[in-house]
Structure 1
């Protein structure tokens, strides 16, 4: 999805999860939002690969 078509939404996470995400993002030189977007993108790619392995 091109950047200009991104949709904003509210995500509620525990303070502990947020702290872990912020730390992980800092370690990978990403913003927290960028890290969450990256993780979601990787999860969706993995799901598509897994779905491709299943017989129709």
Structure 2
């Protein structure tokens, strides 16, 4: 079961948002997905978030 997503309004400077947009474009992600990726990475690196359990691939996943 995927993790529940919650909406959260974020106030961010235009400069930071533009940089995140460029970074997201480079990584083929949406800005929202890029922000979540960076936050998760920072939380993990600082011991604040346990690594997610990875579901093994099945034949159905490769179709």
**TM-score of Structure 1 vs Structure 2, range by shorter chain:** 0.7 to 0.9
User: How much is the aligned-residue C-alpha RMSD, in angstroms?
Assistant: 1.4
Could you tell me the TM-score, scaled by structure 1's length?
A: 0.77
The structure carrying a bigger helix percent of its residues is: 1
2:16, 2:42 → 1: CA distance? 17
Deviations along 1:13-54, one digit per CA (max 9) or x if unpaired, are 1111100000000000000000000000000100108xxxxx
Could you tell me the TM-score, scaled by structure 2's length?
A: 0.69
> Structure 2: any 5+ residue segments left out of the alignment?
49-63
Q: Flag the structure with larger Rg.
A: 2
4+ long deviations beyond 4 Å = none
